[in-house]
Amino acid sequence: MLRCLIKDFETRPSVTHLLEHPFIKQAHGHDSSLRKQLSALIKEQQEHGCRRRTRHERINTRKTLIIESSPDDDLVNLEVLDEETIISHLQRRYGELQIYTYVGDILIALNPFQSLSIYSPQFSKLYHGVKRSENPPHIFATADAAYQSMVTFSKDQQFATQRAPALRCFNIG
């Protein structure tokens, strides 16, 4: 089923191929019971709300580090995606020292012109092998995604960075 998430539609399995998968075949004929289970799960979710996940790590302190992602972490989720909206969200996030923001697969990084404590090895571990949506945007998430893609698909990965006026590319492999 992981292959269904492949972005390249030419290498992604077709619908007919998916319908032949053993997981899908075993569900055939159990539609009503699966529908009831799904309804029960939805009802439970609505009654109890979302469970927030936190990660407990030590970063130069003995406090618990709680990292939550928010809907504006990825501007693609906005209803209106125009220049004015993007700039307004980036300004607000920059004011909150959230210097990284996603726009789909693109990571926007703004220079905070100050030292931030978000580059330690302990902080990096928060991004190892987790889903992108579990943590706020960060270059560590982009690096981990590139590494995971390189390992999974056995293909080199490439980063493109831009700092006005030049564009820089980095190959990983």
This model's pTM is above 0.85: no
In the chain, residues under CATH classification 3.40.850.10 are 71-172
How do residues 42-99 score in pLDDT, each as one tens digit? 787 777 765 555 555 444 433 344 456 677 899 988 888 888 998 999 999 999 999 9
Question: Which residues have a Cβ under 8 Å from the Cβ of 76 and sit 6 or more positions away?
Answer: 102, 103, 104
Please state, in angstroms and rounded to a whole number, the distance separating the CA atoms of residues 143 and 27: 37
For 71-172, CATH number out of 3.40.50.300, 3.40.50.970, 3.40.120.10, 3.40.850.10 equals 3.40.850.10
